[in-house]
Amino acid sequence: MAKNTEVVVIGGGYAGVMAANRLTRRDGVSVTLVNPRPCFVHRIRLHQLVGGTGGAVVDYREVLGEGVRLVVDTVTRIDAAGRRLALASGGAVGYDYLIYAAGSASAVPRVPGAAEFAHPLASLEDAQRLRPVLEAAPATAAVTVVGAGPTGIETAAELAQTGRAVTLVCGGTLGPYLHPRGRRSVAGRLAGLGVRVLDGPGTKVTAVTRDAVRLGDGRAPASEVTVWTAGFGVPDLAARSGLSTDAVGRLLTDETLTSVDDVRIVAAGDSAAPSDLPLRMSCQAAMPLGARAADTVLSRIAGERPSPLRSVFGAQCISLGRSDGIFQFANRSDVAVWFTIDGRPGAKLKEIVCKGVLGHLAGEAATPGSYALHRIPGGVKRRQLLLEAGRRAAPAAAAPGRGGHAPEGGS
């Protein structure tokens, strides 16, 4: 009788759930998903949880295939030589193949006072801690959102719509990813919601105190509640386990998402750095990466050569409160173009995307192998061109994030 193949997925976010569901398509493969919570976190709605306009917790039964065994625990170490994972509970799990999809969290801010007085908003626990802080603050309290990437913009707009006095401190450009036309549209909507936007040189936060944020140009706007959205960091699990990572700790892989150290380890989502040219940290990239990672493992099990990564459809979809939004289109190199859909249609599109994400995961749970967005033709050549351009421009090519939910400093 053929031996059963054990595949373990670390991390039950967008990439990990997509990968785990897809792996169940093959008989003789047992799939285990290790995640610290018994529920799925729909992270792209966390700003709604904070604003009290929506929830971000989803029952795994809605998105995870029945064939996947869920282990609620945290992996504390990967023993690649022994193909074992140590768990925080004290147990261990063995594997034949491992998918590393540990995602991202708030970067630990290096600005004085930020760790003490600013509230991050990158995980469920961050959002659950921030919400009562806001509820306890007077309605007129000055709220500052630091970081003007998509998370900061969405949070500022969401809170302003609930009547909060919000200042958005950009630390540079508002929405660095956006095309100037899209940026003008976002600025107009934020102004309409009453958000005070501080952008341009001199707006980097240099210190956070109990009641203010200090800026590079010497200004110190009052802030009773400071929300920190200036960049994501990744768990240090891969680095701590002795695996090769990029400068911020993402697992280094080749173009099939296979670890450069170990053919049995494959990575996906925010914590993967294929060819040291990671995709923009996003849910939009995490799901195709999850599907690609599963395909790589299934190819290896079948004794076939895995296919390389394709570039992912580029766009950024930002909510601006509940009745406005912007869908910023981009080219296949993930550079924003002039075309946007904004206003109410933009908000509707964003809502379709948020629901569609869960639909994709549920679809893959019900019919493993049905997801196909990671196979859109034409992307391999484009990515090779990007890689070549990156090699020519090194070391600048190592700069990750490329304008989205960027590691710290890039937002």
d(C-alpha 104, C-alpha 326), whole Å: 24
Compute CA 315 distance to the chain's CA centroid, rounded to the nearest angstrom: 14
Q: Closest distance between ligand FAD and the C-beta of residue 71, in Å? A: 9
By C-beta, is 236 or 304 nearer to ligand FAD?
236
Window 210 to 269, contacts with ligand FAD (CB under 6 A): 235, 237, 269
Is 43 a binder of ligand FAD (CB under 6 A)?
yes
Q: Closest distance between ligand FAD and the C-beta of residue 365, in Å? A: 15
Count of residues touching ligand FAD (by CB under 6 A) = 37
* Residues ≥6 apart with Cβ < 8 Å to 388: none
Give the number of other Cβ atoms within 10 Å of residue 84's Cβ: 16
Which amino acid makes up residue 334?
A: D
Q: Closest distance between ligand FAD and the C-beta of residue 305, in Å? A: 25
Is 336 a binder of ligand FAD (CB under 6 A)?
no
- Whether the CB-CB separation of 143 and 167 falls below 8 Å is answered with yes
- Whether the CB-CB separation of 327 and 350 falls below 8 Å is answered with yes
Element (H, E) at 152: helix 150-161
Window 76 to 135, contacts with ligand FAD (CB under 6 A): 101-104, 121-122
Closest CA to 317 of 350, 356, 284, 341: 350
By C-beta, is 46 or 273 nearer to ligand FAD?
46
Stretch that binds ligand FAD, among 33-41, 177-185, 306-314, 336-344 (CB under 6 A): 33-41
Alpha helices in 249-342 (DSSP H): 283-301
Stretch that binds ligand FAD, among 36-44, 133-141, 250-258, 330-338 (CB under 6 A): 36-44
Q: Tokens 């992912």 identify what position? A: 312
Report the chain's terminal Cα–Cα distance, integer Å.
53
Is 150 a binder of ligand FAD (CB under 6 A)?
yes
Stretch that binds ligand FAD, among 146-154, 168-176, 217-225, 338-346 (CB under 6 A): 146-154
Peptide bond into 109 cis (omega under 30): no
Is 343 a binder of ligand FAD (CB under 6 A)?
no
By C-beta, is 284 or 296 nearer to ligand FAD?
284
**Of residues 21, 35, 203, 226, which one binds ligand FAD by CB under 6 A?**
35
Is 65 a binder of ligand FAD (CB under 6 A)?
no
**Of residues 11, 152, 182, 410, which one binds ligand FAD by CB under 6 A?**
11
Element (H, E) at 161: helix 150-161
CA distances from 333 to 113, 189, 287, 379 (A): 37, 27, 18, 9
d(C-alpha 346, C-alpha 21), whole Å: 30
Q: Tokens 């599963």 identify what position? A: 294
Stretch that binds ligand FAD, among 149-157, 207-215, 330-338, 370-378 (CB under 6 A): 149-157
State both tokens at 70.
């869920």
268 to 297: interface string for ligand FAD, x by CB under 6 A? -xx----------xxxx-x-----------
Q: Closest distance between ligand FAD and the C-beta of residue 60, in Å? A: 11
Binding site for ligand FAD (CB under 6 A): 10-16, 34-36, 41, 43-44, 46-47, 74-75, 101-104, 121-122, 150-151, 154, 235, 237, 269-270, 281-284, 286, 317, 405
